Amino acid sequence: MRGWLHCLSYTKPPENILTYSLLVKPSAEASPPFANKGQWRSLTGLQVKRHKNAFVVKLKTVSDRDVARRYSGWLLGADVADFVAPTENEVFWHQLVGLEVANVEGVPFGKVVSLTETGNHDVLVISAATGEERLVPFADQYINTLDLAAKVLIVDWQADW
């Protein structure tokens, strides 16, 4: 397939990648003439389609595999404006990243750097300034206060757990 690159979809379900207005983020190693490396931007002429059990992506103007390789490692993202708004007790994962986390005793844990999905519930990955990483379940019984405006999350989690 001339100029097509394999693409991983992390959308739920994976075929939702075909329905979103996609943004691209050039890799830091992208060679010229790509400006704004590391920044999300819209890109016209981007095609995405199912290929076997995965997806492939192509710029309409690229038909050579060597030119296509220049785009390898770029990230695809969806515009949050395409999503259904969360309900009153829901948040998007990206809204949690960067929140300052402390426990109910006031012990600071650090900032949420990512989330991971497990079988039972999502898990917050919290990184302290010291580099120490802490995992806390993002489940109702452990969330005491979530204030997106103040960028604060208070968890019912012991410091020595």
Residue 86's alpha-carbon distances to 16, 36, 37, 81, 95, in angstroms, are 17, 31, 31, 12, 11
Using 50, 70 and 90 to split pLDDT, how confident is the model at 35? low
Structure tokens at 108: 């600071």
In words, the CATH class of domain 5-82 is mainly beta
pLDDT value of position 11: 84
Q: With contact defined as beta carbons under 8 Å apart, do 153 and 100 qualify? A: yes
Residue 148, pLDDT above cutoff 90: yes
Q: With contact defined as beta carbons under 8 Å apart, do 119 and 126 qualify? A: no
pLDDT digits (tens, 9 = 90+) for 81-93: 888 889 988 999 9
Enumerate the CATH 2.30.30.240 domain ranges in the chain, comma separated: 93-155
pLDDT value of position 55: 93
- CATH match for 93-155 among 2.50.20.10, 3.40.50.300, 2.30.30.240, 4.10.640.10: 2.30.30.240
Q: Which of 122, 124, 130 is nearest to 103 (CA)?
A: 124
Enumerate the CATH 2.40.30 domain ranges in the chain, comma separated: 5-82
Q: What is the pTM of this model?
A: 0.74
Using 50, 70 and 90 to split pLDDT, how confident is the model at 33? low
- Mean residue pLDDT of the chain comes to 89
pLDDT value of position 1: 59
pLDDT value of position 37: 64
